[in-house]
């Protein structure tokens, strides 16, 4: 790892002003992506601004038909939260399946979505549930937030402060993890909103990151059952193809994971 200067921010405003005076700073969430990247010398920020101790970025609360999760909330906290398990069971499953216990104790929802790894789990949940990302500057709909592989609408100095999820009628996530890394080879999040609208979002498979499958959404709108999606396959044209699996293999996984997710949602 190259040299860097560590700062611990006490508040969001504090973090933003530390960033303003840094030459080439980066925010540090749980460090479960950024530190491995720095160890490989693929990133070399002059300053690290640690957000983990900012009290306002922590916690899970429910109000007005939505569940709000602070950006510095860890995957382990989301997975074990009573509110999430009762209102957003798909999200609890998703968070409980990220990496391993030690990664879940440090990694945060804010860090995961800011990173937008095409194989990360959270983006699928945000898109399928129609979540809103709040930052220190504005609010963004999930679909406007994720803009491509490792790309988001965030400006360099912008801080994700929380994510707000409307409580759905049903939700579930099913992922086929890469046996070595545990990242998604394909992960499908299905949600039926309180207004009966259906969304299906896929992670791990797309070249540009998370995407929705309209055909599955309309099939599920008229018939919410695993059989409704069994015959629908996504085109392999824009899917990832690597040593772990070809685009055609991933396309098949998308259908299988979609079936399993609908079955799990009940």
Partner 1 sequence: MMSKVTMRLNGKTVSADVEDRTLLVHFIRETQGLTGTHVGCDTSQCGACVVHVDGKAVKSCTMLAAQADGSDVLTVEGLANGDELHPVQAAFRENHGLQCGFCTPGMIMTAVDMIERHGAKLDEKTIRHELEGNICRCTGYHNIVKAIKAASDQMAGMKTATE
Ligand X SMILES: Cc1cc2nc3c(=O)[nH]c(=O)nc-3n(C[C@H](O)[C@H](O)[C@H](O)COP(=O)(O)OP(=O)(O)OC[C@H]3O[C@@H](n4cnc5c(N)ncnc54)[C@H](O)[C@@H]3O)c2cc1C
Site residues (vs ligand X, CB under 6 A): 26-34, 36, 51, 71, 98-99, 103, 106-108, 110-112, 114-115, 117, 120-122, 154, 159-160, 181-183
The whole-angstrom distance between residue 90's C-alpha and the CA centroid of its chain comes to: 12
Pick one of ligand X, partner 1, none as the site partner of residue 183 (Cβ within 5 to 8 A by kind).
ligand X
Nearer to partner 1, 3 or 237 (CB): 3
Choose which of 76, 219, 258, 262 interacts with partner 1 (CB under 8 A): 76
Residue numbers 141-200 binding partner 1 by CB under 8 A: 180-182
The two structure tokens encoding residue 48: 């690290």
User: E-assigned strands of 5-102?
Assistant: 5-8, 25-28, 47-50, 60-63, 66-70
CA distance 145 to 81: 25
In the complex, what is the shortest distance from the CB of residue 195 to ligand X, in angstroms, rounded to a whole number?
A: 28
Nearer to partner 1, 94 or 262 (CB): 94
Pick one of partner 1, ligand X, none as the site partner of residue 52 (Cβ within 5 to 8 A by kind).
partner 1
Return left, alpha or beta for 131; rule: phi > 0 is left, psi -120 to 50 is alpha, else beta.
beta
Choose which of 35, 66, 149, 264 interacts with partner 1 (CB under 8 A): 35
Nearer to partner 1, 90 or 97 (CB): 97
- Count of C-beta atoms within a 10 Å radius of residue 102: 10
Is residue 194 within 8 Å of residue 167, measured between CB atoms?
yes
In the chain, the N- to C-terminal Cα span, in Å, equals 47
> How distant, in Å, are the alpha carbons of 122, 135, 205, 212 from that of 246?
23, 36, 10, 20
Query: Considering just the CA atoms, what is the radius of gyration of the chain in Å?
Result: 18
The answer to the question of residue 18 lying near partner 1 (CB under 8 A) is: no
Nearer to ligand X, 232 or 240 (CB): 240
Nearer to ligand X, 183 or 224 (CB): 183
What are the residues binding partner 1 (CB under 8 A)? 1-6, 8, 28, 31-32, 35-36, 38-40, 48, 50, 52, 76, 99-103, 105-106, 180-182
């Amino acid at each position: 790892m190259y040299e860097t200067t560590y700062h611990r921010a006490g508040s969001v405003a504090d973090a933003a002003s530390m960033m303003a005076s840094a030459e080439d700073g980066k925010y540090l969430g749980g460090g479960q992506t950024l530190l491995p990247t720095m160890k490989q010398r693929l990133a070399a920020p002059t300053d690290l601004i640690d957000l983990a101790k900012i009290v306002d970025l922590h916690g899970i609360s429910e109000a007005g038909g939505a569940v709000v999760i602070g950006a510095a909330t860890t995957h382990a906290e989301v997975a074990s939260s009573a509110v999430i398990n009762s209102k957003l069971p798909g999200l609890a499953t998703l968070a409980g399946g990220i990496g391993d216990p030690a990664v879940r104790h440090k990694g945060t929802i804010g860090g995961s979505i800011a990173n937008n790894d095409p194989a990360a789990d959270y983006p699928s949940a945000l898109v399928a549930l129609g979540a809103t990302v709040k930052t220190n500057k504005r609010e963004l709909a999930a679909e406007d937030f994720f803009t491509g592989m490792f790309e988001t609408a965030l400006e360099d100095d912008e801080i994700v402060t929380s994510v707000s999820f409307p409580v759905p009628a049903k939700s579930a996530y099913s992922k086929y993890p890469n046996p070595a890394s545990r990242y998604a080879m394909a992960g499908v999040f299905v949600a039926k909103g309180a207004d009966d609208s259906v969304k299906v979002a896929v992670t791990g498979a797309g070249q540009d990151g998370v995407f929705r499958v309209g055909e599955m959404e309309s099939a599920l709108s008229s018939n919410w059952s695993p059989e409704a999606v069994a015959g629908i396959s996504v085109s392999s044209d824009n899917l990832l193809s690597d040593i772990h699996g070809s685009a055609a293999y991933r396309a098949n996984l998308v259908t299988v994971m979609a079936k399993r997710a609908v079955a799990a949602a009940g």
